[in-house]
Amino acid sequence: GEDSRSFHVSIQAPLSMASIGETHSITAVAGGQLILECPEDAVPPPHIEWQWEGSPLREDARRQVLAEGRFLQIQAVGAADGGEYSCRTTNALGDSSLRVRVEVHG
């Protein structure tokens, strides 16, 4: 059989977005809020894990994973928040991942 997936990244901040291969590039404004979305409508619902620069993302007061992993919210974005974020979804049928490179300006 065949399987296809589409991913959508929604950002709540002034930005410009360009697709580079399979990695999306996003420009965020320093001091703003950034929300990355890892939409997944697979059945059964998958486990979602966020990573930053290849390591599991550590949540803190500014970086929070919401809606069982579907969203990553970063408040008061700063230069140190730049880099490559990825979300990996896994269920009984396999796994997939989405990479987003975030550049912070301001």
Give the CATH class of 24-104: mainly beta
Q: How many helices (H) and strands (E) does the chain have?
A: 0, 9
- pLDDT at residue 11 above 60? no
Mind listing the pLDDT tens digit for each residue in 22-73?
A: 678 899 999 999 999 987 777 777 889 999 999 999 999 999 999 989 999 9
Predicted pLDDT of residue 94: 82
The average confidence (pLDDT) of the chain is: 82
**28 contacts 34 by C-beta, under 8 angstroms:** yes
